[in-house]
A and B are shown apart, each in its own frame.
Chain A
Amino acid sequence: MIDTENLTKKFGDLTAVDNLTLHVNDGEVFGFLGPNGAGKTTTVRMLCCLISKTSGSARIGGYDIGNKADSLKIRKIIGLVPDNVGLSEQLTAYDNLDFYGKIYDCTEAHRKENIQRFLEMLGLWDKRNVLAATFSKGMKQKLAIARALIHDPQVLFMDEPTANLDPEAAKTVRDFILQLKKEKKTIFLNTHNLDEAQRICDRVAIMNTSLRAVGTPQELERSVSGKKTVIGLDQQVNDAVLAALKKLALKNLSIDGDTITFDVEDPDKENSPAVGAIVLAGGHVRSINVVGSTLEDTYLKLVRK
C-alpha cells in the first residue's frame, strides 16, 4: 500500500529525511518510531503530498507522490490526523465532519451515515451539536480521527494521536485504532510511545533522519543482542557496594534505589562475581533476575547510533 525508495527531504542544508526505503502492507498497522526531530512528521507530510520530496520516490496505493495528477488521487484515498488536530473551533462536531464529507464528494446519505457511525463509535454522538471549541483535548483528538475517516480512506496517517492525552483518553484512541485494525484499515502511526507501538502495531520502523530498523516489535527486541541482570537488595545501594561493583567494570551499570542493573553477555559467568562483590561489601541480595532486551532497549540503541 505504501512504498518508498530512497525518499529524501532537505530543508536547505538540513536533511530531515535521508534515503528512506520501506514498504507498508495493505491492512497493516505500521508504527513509525523516532525521537522528536527524527523526520517522522516530514515523512508523513511527504506521503500525504503536503510537501515535496527532494529526491527518491514514494507510491501510495500505486500512485506516485511526485506526480501532480497522482497527488490529488492520493489525497482522495488517505486520511490524515495531524499532530495538531486543527479543527474549526467555531463549528459544531457535526459541521466539522459534514464539511470534510462534502470536500470528498460524499453523498448526503453517506455523510450522515458515517458521521453518526464514527461519532457513536468515539462516544461523541451526544455532543454532535456542540462547538468544537468547547471540547476537551481528548474529545478533539477523537473528532479529528472521525474527520480523517469520514470518506472511508484506504490509508490512515496518524501523527502522534495519543500525545498529550490523559491515560483514559489515550486508551480510548488506542482501542479505536485496534478496532480499525480489525477492519483491515492500513494505518501509518507516527509515535514515540513504545508501549503503544508494541501493543497496536503489526510492524514498526525506527527512524532518526534515516531508517534504523524495520520489523515486528518481537523481531526488533530480539535484534539487540545481550541481556540484563537486575539485582534487588534488602536496602538502598550504599557506597561500599557501588565501589565494589565499579571495580568489576560491568557494562551499563545503573543504580536505582535498591536495584542494580547491568548488561551481561553470559549471565552464568558474569553474575556470580557481581553477587560475590555485593555480599563482600556488606550488601544483602534479595533477588536476581536476568531479563532479555525490550523494544525500548532496541529503540534507544538504534536512535543513538
Chain B
Amino acid sequence: MRLSEAWIVASRDFKIFRRVKNVWSSIIIFPVVISVLFPVILEYLAVRGSHGLAAPGVLPNLLNSFSFFLVIGAAYVPLGIASYSIVGEKVEKSLEPLLATPLTDGEILLGKAISAVIPTLVAMYAAAAVFMVGIDGVTFHTLGYYYFPNWNIATLLLVLMPVAIVMSVLFSVIVSSRVNDARSASSFGVFILFPLLGIYLASETSIITLDVNSLLIISGILLAVDVALFYVSTATFRREEILTKWK
C-alpha cells in the first residue's frame, strides 16, 4: 500500500470539504462547544461552590469526566466527514472511475480515513488546548494549582482519542455502504457513541474512575474494536462489493 497515493485521495477530499458547509461546520461546531462550554459550566459551579460540586476534593474526578467529552467529540466529528466522503462519492457515482485507476482498494480506504482523521485531530487538539487553558483559569483558585496538563489528559489525547477516531471512521465506512445520503449515514453512525456515553455516565456516577489505568484499559478495548471494524470495513470496501452490492 502506497501512502503517497492515499495522500492524493485525502488531499482531493480536503479540497471538496472546504466547499461543503455541513462538513466544515461539523469540524468546527462540536470542538468549539466542548472547549468553551465546560469551562463556563465550571465557572458557574465555582460561583455556587456551596453546592460542593466545585470543592477541591470533588473537582479532579469531575474534570476527568469532563475531559472524556473530548473523546466523545473526537468520535462524533469524523462521523460527518467520513460519511460525506463515502456517501458523497456514492451519490455522485464517482467511485467507479476512481476504482478503475491503479489505486488499490486499501489506498482509497486509507485516503478516506486520513481525510477524516486529520481534520478531527487538529480540531480536537485545538479544542483540548482551549479547554485546558479555560479549565485551569477557572479552577486555579479552588485547587491552588493548574490541573492541566497531567498524565490523564496526555493519555486521553495521545492514546484514547486517536483510537476512538479510528473506530468512528471505520464504523462510518460500514454504515456508508448501506445508505444513500450522508445525513442518514451520520445518524446511524451516532450508535458508535453510545458505549462512550456509557463510560462518561459511569464516571459521573462514580462507577468508574477515569484515571490513567482506566483510560489505557478503555483504549485497549477500543483498539480491539478497531481491529474487528477494520476487517469488516475492508471486506465492505472492496471494488466488487461496491459496484455490485452497495445500495
Interface of B is mostly: helix
- Contact: A86 with B8, CB < 8 Å? no
CB < 8 Å neighbour of B96 from A72, A84, A89: A84
Partner pick for A48 among B8, B12, B95, B100, CB 8 A cutoff: B100
Known: A52-B240, A89-B92. A103 touches B103 (CB 8 A): yes
Q: Which residue of the partner chain A has the closest CB to B104?
A: A72
Docked CA distance A260–B5 (Å): 63
> Contact at A80–B100, with CB atoms within 8 Å?
yes
Which of B100, B101, B239, B240 gathers the greatest number of chain A CB atoms within 10 Å? B100
- Asked whether any CB of chain A lies closer than 8 Å to the CB of B126, the reply is no
Residues on A with C-beta less than 8 A from B93 are 82, 84-86
- Can you name 13 extra interface pairs (CB under 8 A) apart from A82-B100, A95-B12, A99-B12? A50-B100, A50-B239, A50-B240, A51-B239, A75-B100, A75-B102, A84-B96, A86-B98, A88-B16, A91-B15, A103-B102, A144-B97, A148-B97
B8 lies within 8 A of A99 (CB): yes
The list of the 3 closest CB pairs from A to B, nearest first, reads: A84-B93, A86-B94, A80-B100
Does B244 belong to the interface (CB within 8 Å)?
yes
Nearest CB on A from B95, distance (A): 7
What are 8 A-B residue pairs whose CB atoms fall within 8 Å in the complex?
Answer: A52-B240, A80-B97, A84-B93, A90-B20, A103-B8, A103-B102, A103-B103, A144-B97
A176 CB, nearest partner CB in chain B, Å:
18
Cβ contact within 8 Å between A82 and B5 = no
B8 close to A45 (CB less than 8 A): no
The contact string, 1 if C-beta is below 8 Å from chain B, for chain A 285-302, is 000000000000000000
The verdict on A147 contacting B5 (CB below 8 Å), with A50-B240, A51-B244, A87-B92 known, is: no
Q: Which of B20, B92, B243 contacts A50 (CB 8 A)?
A: B243
Closest to B95 in A: A86
B92 and A102 form a contact (CB under 8 A): no
Q: Are B101 and A11 in contact (CB under 8 A)?
A: no
Q: How far is the CB of B10 from chain A (nearest CB, A)?
A: 11
Binding site for B on A (CB under 8 A): 11, 45, 48-52, 72, 75-76, 78, 80, 82, 84-91, 95, 99-100, 102-104, 131, 144, 147-148
With both chains docked as a complex, state the minimum distance between the C-beta of A136 and any C-beta of chain B, in angstroms: 16
Alpha-carbon gap, A88 to B5, bound state (A): 18
Residues of B within 8 A of A (CB): 5, 8, 12, 15-16, 19-20, 92-104, 239-240, 243-244
Least Cβ distance of A257 to chain B in Å? 42
Contact A88/B92 with A51-B243, A95-B15 known, Cβ cut-off 8 Å = yes
Q: How far is the CB of A124 from chain B (nearest CB, A)?
A: 17
Residue of A75, A78, A86, A104 touching B92 (CB-CB under 8 A): A86
Provide the bound-state CA to CA distance between A45 and B97, in Å: 11
Q: Which residue of B lies closest to A52 (CB)?
A: B240
B243 to chain A: which residues have CB within 8 Å?
45, 50-51
Give the docked Cα–Cα distance between A84 and B19 (Å): 23
Query: Could you tell me the distance between the alpha carbons of A49 and B96 in the complex, rounded to whole angstroms?
Result: 11
Expressed in whole angstroms, the Cα–Cα distance for A147 and B239 within the complex equals 20
Question: How far is it, in angstroms, between the C-alpha of A87 and the C-alpha of B12 when the chains are bound?
Answer: 12
Q: How far is the CB of B121 from chain A (nearest CB, A)?
A: 23
A205 CB to closest chain B CB, in angstroms?
Answer: 21
Q: How far apart are the CA atoms of A104 and B5 in the complex, in Å?
A: 9
Contact in complex: A103, B94 (CB < 8 Å): no
* Chain B hits for A148, CB < 8 A: 97
User: Is A88's CB under 8 angstroms from B102's CB?
Assistant: no
Taken together as a complex, chains A and B put the C-alpha atoms of A103 and B96 apart, in Å, by 14
Closest-by-CB residue of B relative to A51 is B240
Give A92's nearest chain B residue, CB to CB: B15
Q: Which residue of A lies closest to B8 (CB)?
A: A102
**Residue in B closest to A71 when the chains form the complex, CB atoms:** B102
Tell me which of B102, B103, B104 has the highest count of chain A C-beta atoms within 10 A of its own C-beta: B102
Tell me, in angstroms, the Cα distance from A86 to B90 when the chains sit together. 9
- In contact, A104 and B102 (Cβ under 8 angstroms): yes
Report the Cα distance A198→B5, complex, angstroms: 41
Tell me how far the C-beta of A126 lies from the nearest C-beta in chain B, rounded to whole angstroms: 21
